[in-house]
Amino acid sequence: LAKKQGKVLVLTNITQLVTLAGSPGPRRGAALQELNIITDAAVLCSGGKIVAASKQREMLKHPWFKKNKKKIEEFDCGGGVVTPGFVDSHTHLVFAEPRLVDFEKRIAGETYEEIAAAGGGIKSSLAGVRKASKAELASRAEAALYKMLDGGTTTVEAKSGYGLSLESELKSLEAIKAAAKKWPGTLVATLLGAHVVPPEFKDDRAAYVREVTSKMIPQAAKKKLAEYVDVFCERSAFTPEETAKIFAAGRAHGLKLRAHVGQFTPCDLEKLLRHKPDSFDHMDVFRDEDLPRLAKSDTVATLLPAANYFLGHTKYPDARKLISAGVAVALATDYNPGTSPTTSMQFVMSAACTQMKMSPAEVLVASTINGACGLGLGDRKGSIQSGKDADLAVFDIGDYRELPYWIGGNACVGTVANGNLSER
Ligand SMILES: [Zn+2]
């Protein structure tokens, strides 16, 4: 990506400007289909914010535009589609190596849980992260962030979780902070010390939970290294009771909450909803009786179909059931070395259409404003409206439905992240 710094920027010649203009809260039900498209449009950005989004001919008459014409940098979108920059609200950004042995074992027929029980899975990523320097982890994270930007993603949630010791979890969070400084988009850091119980605590789970609640959380909060605490609530990881304890500690230290739930086995969501998490992630399996309460809450269900794809599952999260129940649904990559080695939100959107029967409009809303809401950023990100952050993605297509239609490629030709233009 060639980077240009432009203080004042106008994007012109846009066939469809998909604004998603509306309320800052998560979209549900029929509202998941409302795109608010402006045809033959232009967007004006200044100081990292959107100043105006309108028909191009109206933009040219905008008094601000007329007055500042000489100092405005123009990006001609060539008749393409412009959307809000994607919000990838679930990534395991910091790791050291791909997990190729697990990949081959799974192809040969072993399941995720069998591989994990035999010492593969998350545990096999620990050694690499523990011995890597902060600079090495940061440079890997930065490379992934630029690939994400290249595909239209301008906001990324990034978790630690492959260190699982106080020192290496803090090092992972510091690596996220270092990578964020070198990237024009917005990064939200999450402490996932409770990813699995590490081998050295296998005979004393309670002691590891205490390590998370009384050391990792307080230190990450005090050093301002994380905004969120996450827990992998699953049969092979942490129980709902342990998750609730970790949530309480996170809240006590001013951190916001999110959890991996229902990837393999259903979880009692009611117990966790009391703590008002911003997101429940995966939701491959859930108890129907939890849906009415979830629908009434502001908690977003973040679905991660690239993980189902990569694990070779034929079952995907039941998005239709969640949407009918009124649950706010988001989509994210789950970028990680074990179960979802992709940075592509375009691939995720396609998988959600073909495997989960979400419409092209729904997947776009789920990948932008609803992802932003799942990160507490609904008032700043996820739609193209005056006053919001200037986060945009430009695609070389004539209709937004082509985004999930063309598989395995990348239609993104430019991004604007906090007002900074990058061209491919
Ligand atoms: Zn995850």
380 Cα–ligand 1 center, Å = 24
Among 345, 393, 384, 417, smallest CA distance to 52 is for 384
Q: Which residue do the tokens 């729904």 mark?
A: 362
Burial of 101 from C-beta contacts in 10 A (0-12 / 13-18 / 19+): exposed
How far is Cα 235 from Cα 61, in angstroms, rounded to an integer?
A: 60
Which SS3 state, helix, strand or coil, does residue 53 take?
Answer: strand
Contact 137, 175 (CB under 8 A): yes
Say if CB 279 and CB 253 are below 8 A apart: no
What is the distance in A from the centroid of ligand 1 to the CA of 177? 19
Q: Compute the distance between CA of residue 287 and CA of residue 298 in angstroms, rounded to an integer.
A: 18
How close is the Cα of 20 to the center of ligand 1, in Å?
Answer: 27
Going from the Cα of 93 to the center of ligand 1, the distance in angstroms, rounded, reads 10
Contact, 284 vs 308, CB < 8 A?
yes
pLDDT at 65: 79
Q: How far is the CA of 203 from the centre of ligand 1 (A)?
A: 25
Tell me the CA distances in angstroms from 202 to 196, 209, 249, one per residue in order: 10, 11, 22
| Residue 51 Cα to ligand 1 middle (Å) | 35
CA dist 167 and 295 (Å) reads 38
How far apart, in whole angstroms, are the C-alpha atoms of residue 157 and residue 173?
Answer: 12
Query: pLDDT tens digits, residue range 344-398?
Result: 999 999 999 999 999 999 999 999 999 999 999 999 999 999 999 999 999 999 9
> What is the signed CA dihedral for 383, 385, 387, 391, rounded to 10 degrees?
40
Cα-to-centroid distance, 235 and ligand 1 (Å) = 15
> How far does residue 164's CA lie from ligand 1's centre (Å)?
15
Distance 37 CA to ligand 1 centre (A): 32
Report the distance separating Cα 261 and Cα 317, nearest Å: 12
What distance in angstroms lies between residue 340's CA and the mean position of ligand 1's atoms? 9
- For β-strands 86-91 and 228-233, DSSP reports them as unpaired
Residues 346 and 318 sit within 8 Å (Cβ to Cβ): no
- DSSP for 243-294 reads HHHHHHHHHHTT-EEEEEE-SSS---HHHHHTT--SEEEE-SS--GGGHHHH
Tell me, in angstroms, the distance from the centre of ligand 1 to residue 332's CA.
10
Q: Quote the tokens at residue 408.
A: 């395995």
Entry pTM:
0.96
How many CA atoms lie within 13 Å of 235's alpha carbon, on the beta-carbon side? 11
Per-residue model confidence as pLDDT tens digits over 404-421: 999 999 999 999 999 999
SS3 of residue 71 by DSSP: helix
The pLDDT value recorded for residue 3 is 43
Chain centre to alpha carbon of residue 375: 8
3-class secondary-structure state, position 209:
helix
DSSP 420: E
Report how far residue 55's alpha carbon sits from residue 331's, in angstroms, rounded to the nearest whole number. Answer: 29
Judged on CB neighbours under 10 Å (0-12, 13-18, 19+), 342 is: buried
Q: How far apart are the CA of 269 and the centre of ligand 1, in A?
A: 17
365 CA distance to ligand 1 middle (Å): 21
How far are the Cα atoms of 14, 193, 248 from residue 196, in angstroms, in the given order? 47, 8, 18
| 3-state SS class at 157 | strand
Residue 401 Cα to ligand 1 middle (Å): 27
Which residue ranges in the chain fall short of pLDDT 50? 1-5
Q: How far is the CA of 334 from the centre of ligand 1 (A)?
A: 5
Distance 92 CA to ligand 1 centre (A): 6
pLDDT single digits (tens) 255-287: 999 999 999 999 989 999 999 999 999 999 999
pLDDT for the residue numbered 18 = 98
